[in-house]
Amino acid sequence: MIGRLNHVAIAVKDLSAASASYRDGLGAKVSAPVDLPEHGVRIAFVELANTKIELLQPLGEHSPIGRFLVKNPDGAIHHLCYEVEDLLAARDRLIHSGARILGDGAPHIGAHGKPVLFLDPKSFAGTLIELEQA
Ligand SMILES: CC[C@H](C(=O)O)C(=O)SCCNC(=O)CCNC(=O)[C@H](O)C(C)(C)COP(=O)(O)OP(=O)(O)OC[C@H]1O[C@@H](n2cnc3c(N)ncnc32)[C@H](O)[C@@H]1OP(=O)(O)O
Ligand SMILES: [Co+2]
């Protein structure tokens, strides 16, 4: 069911500093920051040959990244995003197999303008998974 690894997300306190360390330290191409207030994040993408790194800084008081950084103050890997050909079919199959979909279970538009869903880390070895419509 799952296809390409779309991105690995890293929660950071300071997006400018994290972007600079990838750009200047590792010589990577890093996109300009974008605010996604509906998701409580400010993001930038590091472009790699085979996938992307999504740098996530909290935006707003109720950001899920803010809560995560309280427990991981130096920053940490936050989630993996896999592409699926049919997001609704994937969701229904996961529910049937006993996995829990986070939130209201309905897809929301993510950073690439495509529908996404998040899966409960407790269903997948303690790893938060984002599924994105390919
Ligand atoms: C969509 C736009 C963009 C894109 O790529 O397109 C993004 O990726 S935005 C990313 C930000 N959005 C989200 O993360 C949405 C999904 N996340 C959530 O709904 C919450 O963060 C949730 C439910 C995973 C955690 O809820 P909460 O913040 O209330 O966490 P708690 O501190 O109460 O923790 C509960 C429990 O979950 C464990 N936890 C929390 N975050 C993670 C994580 N990233 N990976 C693995 N486990 C996580 C936490 O340790 C607690 O465990 P427990 O054993 O109960 O103590
Ligand atoms: Co993501």
Q: Residue 59 maps to which CATH number?
A: 3.10.180.10
Query: How many structural domains comprise the chain?
Result: 1
| pLDDT band (50, 70, 90) for residue 11 | very high
> Is any atom of ligand 1 closer than 6 Å to the C-beta of 11?
no
**DSSP per-residue string spanning 86-106:** -HHHHHHHHHHTT--B-TTSS
Q: What is the mean pLDDT of residues 66-92?
A: 97
Q: What does pTM read for this prediction?
A: 0.97
| pLDDT band (50, 70, 90) for residue 4 | very high
**61 assigned to active site:** no
The predicted structure's pLDDT at residue 51: 98
CA 134 to CA 132: how far, in whole Å?
Answer: 6
CA 57 to CA 63: how far, in whole Å?
Answer: 9
- Torsion angle of the four alpha carbons 112, 114, 115, 118, in this order, in degrees rounded to the nearest 10: -30
Calculate how far, in angstroms, residue 118's C-alpha sits from the geometric centre of ligand 1. Answer: 9
Residues, beta carbon < 5 Å, ion ligand 2: 9, 54, 81, 130
Is residue 30 within 8 A of residue 22, CB to CB? The reply is yes
| pLDDT band (50, 70, 90) for residue 13 | very high
